[in-house]
Structure 1
Amino acid sequence: MLYFTFQSSRMIHVSNRRSLHYQHGAFTDLVFYTVVFLALMNSCRAQSEVIVPSQPVVSLVGEDVVLPCHLDPFMNAFDMFLEWARPDLNPRFVLLWRQGEELKTKKHPSFRGRTSVFIDELEKGNISLKLSKVKVSDEGGYKCVMSALSKASSVQLVVGKWTSLVTSKH
């Protein structure tokens, strides 16, 4: 994160030990304020957190389930690198999204054709994973990682089976 200290009317000290000098004037003021604005936007971006529910997500075998995950404060994740993973699997990737497209070849074979993100929602910070046709083997911990932010959170999926209750008359 960058911190700015105004040392005089012509110099700003940046916390990474670099100094930015400028002279007053319409153009230089515009450039100066643009640089400060962009630096502040970048520092705000780095403050986003990856948010998942604290309670496990429950699904039944054969159903579709959404593992909720979002950025707070929200930011556009469409062109970023998103990873959904199961750390206990090899390869661990359930879904990889990079710069507007899914990298399907890196995905664990048991998840091929069953995982997706809500593409229209990525720009709103919704990075939830949709898992279709849930299997018993899908139960476990899932990690949602935003590499550009160096942030990750984990969510637990619990999978139940349909059972029928049969009573017999004697």
Structure 2
Amino acid sequence: MRFLGRTCLIVLSLLPAVSTQRDGSSVVGSDQPLIASPGEDVSLPCHITPSLSAVDMEVRWFRQKFKIPVHLYEDRRDRTDVQDSDYRGRTALSIFRLQKGILSLNLRNLHHTDSGVYSCYATDGVWNGQGKTELIVRGQC
């Protein structure tokens, strides 16, 4: 019985190391604003560090309202049905980059109204993280 008690203690002491594997991960945006001109295409930088596949995660890009995403990737597909209509047909994530934990959002044909702070949020249902990236579209009135 004493052996069993020690074995349980050893196993329980190892659990935090196993279950906290993602606790050390975070989502990182950009600490520098991205500057572009109207009509250009950009990639808004964001990634998980240390690198962790996001293929099976929810990845949500949004501005002020979490519930109205600029882009939503969920259940291994892009959810354009809930996407902000101003961005429909202009955004994309790369599945190959998601495999490496790169959550960068490709945004095409920039408009002046695209200027602002974008949040990149990733979750697997237990762990989550969020980063921010600022976009400045030149020539704003």
* Corresponding residue for residue 108 of structure 2: 132
**Equivalent of 1:48 in 19, 22, 25:** 25
Aligned equivalents of 1:41 and 1:144: distance in 2? Answer: 26
User: Does the 8 A contact of 1:64 with 1:132 survive in 2?
Assistant: yes
**Structure 1 moving runs of 4+ over 6 Å:** none
* Corresponding residue for residue 51 of structure 2: 74
Q: Percent identity?
A: 29
TM-score between the two structures when normalised by the length of structure 1: 0.71
SS at match of 2:56: coil
Tell me the amino acid that sits aligned with residue 65 of structure 1: V
Q: Which has the larger radius of gyration?
A: 1
Contiguous gaps of at least 5 residues in structure 1: 1-6, 21-35, 162-170
Quote how far apart the aligned CAs of 1:119 are: 1.4
RMSD: 2.6
* Corresponding residue for residue 154 of structure 1: 132
Aligned equivalents of 2:79 and 2:117: distance in 1? Answer: 21
* Corresponding residue for residue 77 of structure 2: 101
User: Does the 8 A contact of 1:90 with 1:108 survive in 2?
Assistant: no
Contiguous gaps of at least 5 residues in structure 2: none
Cα distance change of structure 1 residues 90 and 10 upon mapping to structure 2, 3 Å threshold: closer
**Count of residues in correspondence between the two structures:** 135
TM-score between the two structures when normalised by the length of structure 2: 0.84
Larger relative contact order (CA 8 Å, sep ≥ 6)? 2
